[in-house]
Amino acid sequence: MGRQLHSLSSVATSLGLLLAIFLLFHCAQSENKLYPTANQNLSPIEAWRSAEYCLQNISSSCPVNYTLTHSGWLNVTHTDGPTFCEDGGCAEHTRAVLLCLYHVKIDYYFANFATIKDLSDTINNGCTSPQGTL
Ligand SMILES: *[C@@H]1O[C@H](CO)[C@@H](O)[C@H](O)[C@H]1NC(C)=O
Ligand SMILES: *[C@@H]1O[C@H](CO)[C@@H](O)[C@H](O)[C@H]1NC(C)=O
Ligand SMILES: *[C@@H]1O[C@H](CO)[C@@H](O)[C@H](O)[C@H]1NC(C)=O
């Protein structure tokens, strides 16, 4: 009897484990990593994770030193401004990444507590000033 109970509970444990694996797998499957904006009705954790996927959108128009990261710091110097702002340049790509962030987590903030709007404003102001500098 004791033995039967024991094996029953281990079957239950394995079933629970299988279910957990299935759910994990299922969630991972239904989450779109390439197009995070396709993810709908996100829980807070999923929203943060989708935001990370947005930040993984890198472009050849953004040299590593300008690429927007979780830090929220755009390391663009005065002399680099014009290159950064030009059509098809890194500013354009960065705006696309910010838009992606906005869609998946409207209240996203960076490690330096800058918001999506702060970054957009920085880019817009920097790129519309006469010298086109940030
Ligand atoms: C960033 O990288 C670009 C391209 O590699 C380069 O032209 C620019 O001087 C770099 N800026 C800084 C601040 O290192
Ligand atoms: C900005 O870029 C310059 C040149 O690439 C580098 O020396 C500096 O450490 C960078 N600053 C930050 C905060 O990433
Ligand atoms: C990635 O960035 C490009 C612009 O460089 C943009 O056209 C594209 O929509 C972005 N992808 C996602 C998933 O946001």
Q: Give the residue carrying structure tokens 């209240």.
A: 107
Q: Where are the domains of the chain?
A: 1-30, 36-128
- Is the pLDDT at 1 greater than 60, yes or no? no
Q: Kindly report the length of the chain.
A: 134
For the entire predicted model, the pTM comes to 0.74
State the ligand closest to the CA atom of 101.
Answer: 3
Q: Ligand 1: residues within 6 Å at CB?
A: 63, 65, 75, 77, 80
- Give the least confident one: 23-32, 86-95, 104-113: 23-32
Residue whose Cα lies nearest atom 8 of ligand 1: it is 80
Residue whose Cα lies nearest atom 14 of ligand 2: it is 75
More confident residue, 41 or 59: 59
Q: What are phi and psi of 115, to 5 degrees?
A: -95, 175
